[in-house]
């Protein structure tokens, strides 16, 4: 199962960076999308997903709601099982649209979910 981090960053103080590290430590496969290419712990951050990417099970968002529209078509095209809206990314309209499409969508903190074994 692959988790896609949208809003990934090389900057160590960013929560998306910490989430990438914690997901890797937990043995999760990750893909990362960001505004800039880069890497976290040897894993690439893409500006666009490669055509041969693995199936995405979970998307965890670290993008302000005002920028989520840029990713809306991608999110729906990936047909994830769930989308996690981390603190500050909550978007009721997008959550409702995802739920209507059969995707589990909810506000939560990926870091907390990992720390309590609920990821």
CATH number of the domain to which 62 belongs: 3.40.50.720
pLDDT in tens, 19-53: 999 999 999 999 999 999 999 999 999 999 999 99
Tracing tokens 């914690």 back to the chain, one arrives at 22
Domains of the chain: total = 1
Q: Which two tokens stand for residue 24?
A: 């890797």
Domain holding 6, by residue range, is 2-115
pTM, to two decimals: 0.96
Question: What is the pLDDT of the chain when averaged over all its residues?
Answer: 96
By the 10 Å C-beta count (0-12 exposed, 13-18 middle, 19+ buried), 98 is classed as buried
């Amino acid at each position: 199962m692959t988790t896609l981090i949208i809003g990934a960053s090389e900057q160590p103080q960013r929560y998306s960076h910490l989430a990438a590290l914690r997901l890797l430590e937990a043995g999760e496969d990750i893909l990362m999308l960001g505004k800039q290419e880069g890497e976290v712990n040897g894993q690439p951050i893409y500006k666009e997903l490669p055509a041969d990417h693995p199936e995405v099970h979970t998307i965890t968002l670290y993008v302000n709601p005002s920028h989520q529209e840029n990713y809306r078509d991608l999110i729906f095209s990936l047909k994830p099982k769930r989308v996690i809206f981390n603190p500050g990314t909550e978007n009721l309209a997008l959550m409702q649209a995802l739920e209507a499409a059969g995707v589990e969508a909810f506000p939560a903190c990926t870091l907390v979910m990992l720390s309590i074994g609920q990821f």
